């Protein structure tokens, strides 16, 4: 069992608070991704788990053992560094076996584990070479093999793919996912790449300015962001946001955006009624709207400003009541710049956001 | 277009041109000029010529100091004065008078043939008479030459005691026809007096100074045979053997203390680096003041009651103490240079590399042993090379602590040869020896502490 519990972890560098009051429980053998823009504190949080920067306050427990004040070498963890941090003066074999040697594992066992880790990453041929003559991808494999050979209960990865070129990154992403599925370790994976996060993680913890914004399964984070930041950070293109005005009429409540009134779904209605002001923000993803050439019930007229054909879809930038938004359409839909369109907003795809707090009112 | 491209390619060369000029002018050339003295004797041989003029052919070369037989002498117009001080000169007078035939004669006669009878106020001869020749077989007449030179044509002859007017004076240098005394088979040749030393009998002499250079090992032999050479070499090597391992270990500890980034570690850096700013002579004097008879050490030891009265550390009977003091002073003075190199080397190791080692379970000493020391190898190599070369040059501290006689080192011997003995050739031989030792040690380190290309942090 290697459940990781973070309780109110805070870490600052001088005046700058890097991680603020982060609490998180990572289940045994879970793959958790820490996702956020650069400077959001995700690496700091990972390093706090690793013990490479003592937390200022809060508690960190691994497998029920309080490790808050333990040095990294005694936390029984293993890690892949962003720069790989391969030891340049050692052969690949010595690099992979280094942790085992330091932990006084006996020679035969070291040799067995080094070989099997090398086999997993297909670097058996490189075992007696030194890292200086290796490509970035090969070094990356050595770094992963070194981490896996430890057979630690906790595996930490700090942007392991960020130094690879795009093609290699794609290939390595799939391979890492395959590898880590077989490894029975609780994995914390830091990245700023949302595709990586969504495609690899059991859960994704989105961070911003040192705080965890949302921690959910990839689909939930995508479909049902907890606030405006998560909605705009995740997804390409980001979620569309429309500012509307709340109108209360004959017992019902509607949001008016550009001469159109949107009626909230039944479960959201009381929450909107409870809002203080009369402003509300509607969030909707580009692929969740229907584009029609003819007006119909519940459609909003729009004008096409930009057409970006992306192969599997066309991404349109349309103007709705003076606001720009992105809509993705089927590539066969014949549109040109300047055309008029009609867009339908399905009620269950609209996320209602309180503009005062930027929080999504209802998350499922 | 082509010209422009060519110009663009030339830009880097133009940029480094000043550096190349600088290296050639202020480094390579003076170094060559200085070091060549050790193996090249500029005055080694004297070429002698078929005729007593500089443009006649060389017939033989006689080494400097070679004994000579002098066969003949002749005066020649003075050649360019190259600072010669001991040349032999002769004056010739232009005289006019009445010749033996009664006709007027005007020409040149050697001063040996004329007795000056009157001079002007400045001492210039105005008139004289022809000297008589003694002996029955002697020609009673004196030849008058067209040029101030024995070989020029005779324009007339003068009777002995004939009065003449002296109208002009020429100063000539004497040339000698010489042959090596120990080799009668060798051809005889002419050489100007400035390069020769003529003995009193006028028949023998020796080559005082050659004009042509020759490579020679004489200066190196003289250096090796010098009575201070052995002690100087031994002391230099002893100081190195004591100093370098101590310095390396000490500097490593200091560098690790600074690199540990503990509280005050930047303060340590300043304290450790302070002696870099002091001149080596000042450090030598400082340690002299500690070890001298009424110095700090004696005061402390006396005050503590450990010794009874001052102990003389720095005497000819206590050379071991002098060497100890020299090593201590050098240790204090120059360890920080090694430390600075090692600190730079440590800082070049990426933080993540050390963190990785820590994370994979390496304790501090394991990190030092398995990560830091191997990655520091290039820095250690540089430090060792630098330190060894500087140890061969140790000088001012030795002078301050020993006066340069009781305990001597190679650099001190070079100084002594140059300054006290005025022998720049042997001084240069010492300098060359130090250079060769430095190169040899650098090559030794480069080979034995070989920095594999893999060691470079990536």
Of B391, B381, B271, the residue nearest B327 (C-alpha): B391
Chain A CA closest to residue B453: A132
Question: If interface means Cβ-Cβ distance under 8 Å, which residues of chain A face chain B?
Answer: 50-52, 71-74, 77-79, 81-83, 85-90, 98-99, 102-103, 130-133, 146, 150
For the stretch B247-261, pLDDT in tens is 999 999 999 998 887
Q: How far is CA B367 from the centre of its chain?
A: 50
**Chains A & B: contacts with CB separation below 8 Å:** 78
Residue in B216, B265, B249 with CA at minimum distance from that of residue B37: B216
Winning range, highest mean pLDDT, from A145-149, B4-8, B106-110, B139-143? A145-149
Q: How far apart are CA A12 and CA A74, in angstroms?
A: 24
B424 close to A (CB below 8 A) = no
Distance in Å, alpha carbon of A150 to nearest chain B alpha carbon? 8
**A77 and B375: CB-CB below 8 Å?**
no
Cβ atoms of A50 and A82 within 8 Å: the answer is no
- Interface touch B355/A88, C-beta < 8 Å: no
Cα of B15 vs its chain's centroid, Å:
34
| pLDDT band for position B305 (cuts 50, 70, 90) | confident
N-term to C-term CA, chain A: 30
C-beta of residue A307 within 8 angstroms of C-beta of residue A301: no
Q: Where are the domains of chain A?
A: 4-233, 240-360
Any domain includes B30:
no
How open is the CA angle B416-B421-B423, to the nearest 5 degrees?
95
A78, B360: Cβ pair inside 8 Å?
yes
Task: Name the residue in chain B with its Cα closest to that of A149.
Answer: B360
Which of A50, A88, A128, A159 is best to mutate for the B interface (most B CBs within 10 A)? A88
Q: Which of B350, B355, B361 is the mutation pick for testing A, counting most A CBs within 10 A?
A: B361
CA–CA separation, A298 and A272 (whole Å): 20
Closest CA to B108 of B61, B64, B152: B152
What pLDDT is attached to residue B396? Answer: 92
Question: For A85, which of B350, B363, B452 is closest by C-beta distance?
Answer: B350
**What are the C-alpha distances in Å from B134 to residues B139, B145, B150, B203?**
9, 21, 20, 21
Spatial separation of the C-alpha atoms in residues A152 and A80, rounded to whole Å: 12
Residues B337 and B269 in one domain: yes
In 3D space, the residue among B364, B369, B378, B381 whose CA is nearest the CA of residue B257 turns out to be B364
Residues B211 and B251 in one domain: no
Can you say how many angstroms the Cα of residue B213 is from the centroid of all Cα atoms in its chain?
A: 16
B333: which residues sit within 8 A by CB, 6+ positions away? B275, B278, B280, B283, B397
Confidence of residue B449 (pLDDT cuts 50, 70, 90): low
Binary contact (A83, B350; C-beta < 8 A): yes
Look at residue B254 and tell me if it is in a domain. Answer: yes
B453 in reach of chain A (CB within 8 A): yes
For residue B271, name the pLDDT band (cuts at 50, 70, 90): confident
Tokens in use for B364? 């501090």
Same domain? B237 vs B212: no
Over residues B69-80, mean pLDDT: 81
Measured between CA atoms, the residue of chain A closest to residue B456 is A88
Task: Establish how many alpha carbons lie within 13 A of residue A43's alpha carbon, considering only the half-sphere containing its beta carbon.
Answer: 13
- Chain A nearest-CA distance from B350, in A, is 8
Shared domain for B257 and B306, answered yes or no, is: yes
Model confidence pLDDT, tens digit, residues A72-97 = 999 999 999 999 999 999 999 999 99
Is residue B146 within 8 A of residue B107, CB to CB? The reply is yes
Is residue B36 a part of any domain in this protein? no
Kindly state whether residues B376 and B406 are assigned to the same domain: yes
pLDDT at residue B1, rounded to an integer: 55
Q: Are A73 and B456 within 8 A, CB to CB?
A: no
Are B212 and B241 contained in the same domain? no
B348 contacts in chain A (CB < 8 Å)? none
B452: pLDDT strictly greater than 70:
no
The pTM of this model reads: 0.77
Mean pLDDT score of chain A: 90
- Closest Cβ–Cβ partner in B361, B377, B454 for A99: B361
CB contact under 8 A, A132 and B360: no
Whether residue B38 lies inside any domain: the answer is no
Interface touch B458/A150, C-beta < 8 Å: no
Look at residue B26 and tell me if it is in a domain.
no
Across the interface, do A52 and B355 touch by the CB < 8 Å criterion? yes
Determine the pLDDT at residue A145. Answer: 94
Confidence band (pLDDT; 50, 70, 90) for A254?
Answer: confident
What local confidence, expressed as pLDDT, does residue B456 receive? 45
Give the per-residue pLDDT at B457. 44
Chain B residues closer than 8 Å to A163 by CB: none
List the single residue in B353, B359, B366 with the smallest CB-CB distance to A72: B359
pLDDT of residue A92: 95
Minimal Cα distance from B353: which residue of A? A85
- Do residues B254 and B204 both lie within one domain? no
Residue range B219-237: average pLDDT?
93
Burial A135-160, CB ≥16 within 10 A → b, else e: eebbbbbbbbbbbbbbbbbbbbbbbb
Residues B192, B71 share a domain = yes
Position B454 scores a pLDDT of 42
Inter-chain residue contact B360 with A89, CB threshold 8 Å? no
Contacts of B360 in chain A (CB under 8 A): 73, 78, 98-99, 102-103, 146, 150
Cα separation, B184 vs B203, whole angstroms: 14
For B35-66, strand residue ranges (E) read 40-49, 58-63
Cα separation, B30 vs B383, in Å, equals 27
Q: Is residue B34 part of a domain?
A: no
The token pair at B282 is 């000042």
- When mean pLDDT is compared over A258-262, B315-319, B425-429, the highest value belongs to B425-429
Q: Is the peptide bond before A237 cis (omega within 30 degrees of 0)?
A: yes
Shared domain for B234 and B260, answered yes or no, is yes
φ and ψ of A354, to 5 deg: -80, 115
Cα–Cα distance, A246 to A252 (Å, whole number): 11
| Contacts B350 to A, Cβ<8 Å | 83, 85
- Enumerate the residues of chain A whose CB falls inside 8 A of the CB of residue B455: 88-89
Q: Which CATH class is domain A4-233?
A: alpha beta
Which range among A282-286, B204-208, B372-376 shows the weakest confidence by mean pLDDT?
Answer: B204-208
Question: Distance, in angstroms, between A91 CA and closest chain B CA?
Answer: 9
Question: Strand, coil or helix: what is B29?
Answer: helix
Q: What is the pLDDT of residue B289?
A: 92
CATH superfamily of A240-360: Nucleic acid-binding proteins (2.40.50.140)
- Pick the range with the lowest mean pLDDT from A48-52, B114-118, B147-151, B203-207: B147-151
The fraction of chain B above a pLDDT of 90, given in percent, is 33
pLDDT digits (tens, 9 = 90+) for A144-159: 999 999 999 999 999 9
Tens digits of residue pLDDT in A199-211: 999 999 999 999 9
The distance of B272 to chain A (nearest Cα, Å) reads: 29
Residue A338, number of CB atoms within 10 A of its CB: 8
Strand residues in B50-88 grouped as ranges (E): 58-63, 67-77
Q: How far apart are CA A304 and CA B119, in angstroms?
A: 124
Q: How are strands ordered across the β-sheet holding A4-13?
A: A16-26, A4-13, A57-62, A65-66
Q: Are residues B197 and B241 in the same domain?
A: no
3-class DSSP string for chain A = CCCEEEEEEEEEECCEEEEEEEEEEECCCCEEEEECCCCCCHHHHHHHHHCCCCCCEEEEEECCEECCCCCHHHCCEEEECCCCCCCCCCCHHHHHHHHHHHCCCCHHHHHHHHHHHHHHCCCHHHCCCCHHHCCHHHHHHHHHHHHHHCCCCEEEEECCCCCCCHHHHHHHHHHHHHHHHHCCCEEEEEECCHHHHHHHCCEEEEEECCEEEEEECHHHHHHCCCEHHHHHHCCCCCCEEEEEEEEEECCEEEEEECCEEECCCCCCHHHHHCCCCCEEEEEECHHHCEEECCCCCCEEEEEEEEEEECCCCEEEEEEECCEEEEEEECCCCCCCCCCEEEEECCHHHCEEEECCCCEECCCC
User: Which of B359, B375, B458 lies nearest to residue A131, judging by beta carbons?
Assistant: B458
Any A CB within 8 A of B365 CB: no
Residues B427 and B379 in one domain: yes
CATH number, residue B268: 1.10.3720.10
Contact B358 A71 (CB under 8 A): yes
Kindly report which listed range (B269-278, B429-438, B442-451) carries the lowest average pLDDT score: B442-451
At B287 the pLDDT is: 93
Where a domain ends, among B216, B232, B265? B216
* pLDDT above 80: residue B3: no
B118 Cβ contact partners less than 8 Å away, ≥ 6 residues apart:
B125, B126, B127, B128
Angle at Cα A212 formed by Cα A237 and Cα A266, nearest 5°?
Answer: 65
- The first and second tokens of residue A37, run together, are 């823009």
The structural domain count of chain B equals: 2
Residue B37 within any structural domain of the chain: no
Q: How far is CA B203 from CA A210, B51, B72, B87, in A?
A: 107, 19, 9, 17
Residue where one domain finishes, among candidates B183, B216, B249: B216
Residue B281 lies in a domain: yes
Inter-CA distances, B238 with B39, B229, B327, B390, B392, Å: 28, 14, 10, 14, 11
pLDDT surpassing 70 at residue A286: yes
**Among all chains, which residue has been given the structure tokens 């720009």?**
A324
pLDDT band at residue B84 using 50, 70 and 90 as cut-offs: low
Nearest residue on chain A to B355, judged by CA atoms?
A52
Quote the distance between the C-alpha of residue A291 and its chain's center.
Answer: 29
For B66, phi and psi rounded to 5 degrees?
-65, 140
CB contact under 8 Å between B456 and A88, yes or no, is yes
Q: Of B197, B216, B235, which residue sits at a domain end?
A: B216
Domain that holds residue B351: 221-455
pLDDT of residue B118: 86
The DSSP symbol for B194 reads: G
CA distances from A340 to A240, A335, B63 (A): 19, 9, 111
**Minimum Cα–Cα distance from A89: chain B residue:** B455
B250 vs B188: CA distance, rounded Å: 69
Task: Identify which of B363, B371, B457 has the shortest CB distance to residue A73.
Answer: B363
Q: Is the pLDDT of residue B455 over 60?
A: no
Question: What would the DSSP string read from start to end of B411-458?
Answer: HHHHHIIIIIS--HHHHHHHHHHHHHHHHHHHHHHHHHT---GGGS--
Q: Does B369 touch chain A (CB under 8 A)?
A: no
Taking only residues 388 to 417 of chain B, the set having a beta carbon closer than 8 angstroms to any beta carbon of chain A reads: none
Q: What are phi and psi of A143, to 5 degrees?
A: -65, -40
């Amino acid at each position: 069992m290697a459940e990781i519990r973070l309780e109110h972890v805070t870490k600052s560098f001088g005046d700058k608070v890097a991680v603020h009051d982060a609490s998180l429980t990572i289940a045994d053998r879970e793959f958790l991704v820490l996702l956020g823009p650069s400077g959001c504190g995700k690496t700091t949080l990972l390093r706090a788990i690793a013990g490479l920067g003592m937390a200022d306050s809060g508690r960190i427990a691994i497998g029920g053992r309080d490790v808050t004040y333990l040095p990294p070498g005694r936390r029984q963890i293993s890690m892949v560094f962003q720069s790989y941090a391969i030891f340049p003066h050692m052969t690949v074999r010595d690099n992979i076996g280094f942790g085992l040697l330091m932990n006084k594992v006996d020679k035969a066992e070291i040799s067995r584990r080094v070989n099997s880790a090398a086999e997993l990453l297909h670097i058996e041929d490189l075992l007696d070479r030194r890292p200086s003559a290796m490509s970035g991808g090969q070094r990356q494999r050595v770094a992963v093999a070194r981490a896996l050979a430890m057979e630690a209960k906790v595996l930490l990865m700090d942007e392991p793919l960020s130094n690879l070129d795009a093609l290699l990154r794609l290939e390595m992403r799939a391979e890492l996912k395959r590898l880590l599925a077989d490894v029975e370790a609780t994995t914390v994976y830091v990245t700023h790449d949302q595709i990586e996060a969504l495609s690899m993680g059991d859960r994704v913890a989105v961070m911003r300015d040192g705080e965890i914004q949302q921690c959910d399964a990839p689909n939930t984070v995508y479909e049902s962001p907890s606030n405006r930041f998560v909605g705009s950070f995740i997804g390409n293109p980001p979620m569309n946001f429309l500012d509307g005005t709340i109108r209360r009429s004959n017992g019902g409540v509607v949001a008016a955006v550009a001469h159109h009134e949107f009626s909230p779904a039944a479960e959201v209605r009381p929450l909107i009624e409870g809002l203080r002001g009369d402003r509300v923000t509607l969030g909707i993803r580009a692929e969740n709207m229907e584009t029609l050439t003819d007006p119909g019930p519940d459609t909003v007229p729009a004008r096409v400003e930009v057409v970006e054909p992306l192969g599997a879809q066309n991404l349109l930038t349309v103007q709705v009541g003076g606001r720009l938004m992105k809509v993705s359409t089927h590539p066969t839909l014949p549109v040109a710049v300047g055309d008029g369109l009609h867009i339908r907003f399905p009620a269950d795809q609209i996320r209602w956001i309180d503009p005062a707090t930027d929080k999504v009112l209802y998350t499922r | 277009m082509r010209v422009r491209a060519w110009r663009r390619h030339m830009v880097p060369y133009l940029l480094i041109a000043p550096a190349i000029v600088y290296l050639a002018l202020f480094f390579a050339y003076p170094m060559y000029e200085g070091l060549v003295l050790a193996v090249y004797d500029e005055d080694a041989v004297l070429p002698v010529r078929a005729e007593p003029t500089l443009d006649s052919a060389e017939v033989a070369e006689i080494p400097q100091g070679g004994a000579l037989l002098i066969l003949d002498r002749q005066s020649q117009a003075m050649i360019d004065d190259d600072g010669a001080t001991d040349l032999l000169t002769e004056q010739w007078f232009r005289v006019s008078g009445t010749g033996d035939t009664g006709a007027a004669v005007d020409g040149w006669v050697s001063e040996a043939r004329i007795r000056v009878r009157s001079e002007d106020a400045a001492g210039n001869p105005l008139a004289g008479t022809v000297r008589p020749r003694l002996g029955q077989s002697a020609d009673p007449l004196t030849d008058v030459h067209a040029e101030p030179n024995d070989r020029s044509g005779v324009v007339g002859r003068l009777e002995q005691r004939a009065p003449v007017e002296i109208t002009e004076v020429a100063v000539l240098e004497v040339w000698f026809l010489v042959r090596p005394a120990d080799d009668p088979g060798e051809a005889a040749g002419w050489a100007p007096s400035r390069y020769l030393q003529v003995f009193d009998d006028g028949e023998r002499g020796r080559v005082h100074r050659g004009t042509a250079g020759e490579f020679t090992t004489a200066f190196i032999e003289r250096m090796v045979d010098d009575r201070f050479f052995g002690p100087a070499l031994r002391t230099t090597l002893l100081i190195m053997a004591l100093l370098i391992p101590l310095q390396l270990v000490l500097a490593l500890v200091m560098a690790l203390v600074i690199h540990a980034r503990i509280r005050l570690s930047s303060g340590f850096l300043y304290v450790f680096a302070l002696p870099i700013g002091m001149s080596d002579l000042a450090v030598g004097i400082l340690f002299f003041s500690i070890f001298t008879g009424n110095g700090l050490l004696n005061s402390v030891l006396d005050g503590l009651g450990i010794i009874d009265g001052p102990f003389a550390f720095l005497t000819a009977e206590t050379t071991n103490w002098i060497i100890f003091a020299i090593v201590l002073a050098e240790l204090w003075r120059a360890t920080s240079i090694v430390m600075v190199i090692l600190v730079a080397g440590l800082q070049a190791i990426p933080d993540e590399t050390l963190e990785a080692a820590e994370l994979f379970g390496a304790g501090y000493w394991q990190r030092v042993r398995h990560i830091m020391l191997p990655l520091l190898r290039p820095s250690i190599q540089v430090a060792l090379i630098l330190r060894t070369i500087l140890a061969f040059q140790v000088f001012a501290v030795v002078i301050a602590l020993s006066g340069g006689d009781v305990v001597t080192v190679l650099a001190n011997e070079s100084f002594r040869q140059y300054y006290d003995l005025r022998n720049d050739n042997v001084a240069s031989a010492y300098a060359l020896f130090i250079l060769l030792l430095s190169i040899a040690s650098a090559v030794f380190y480069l080979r034995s502490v070989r920095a594999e290309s893999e060691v470079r942090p990536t």
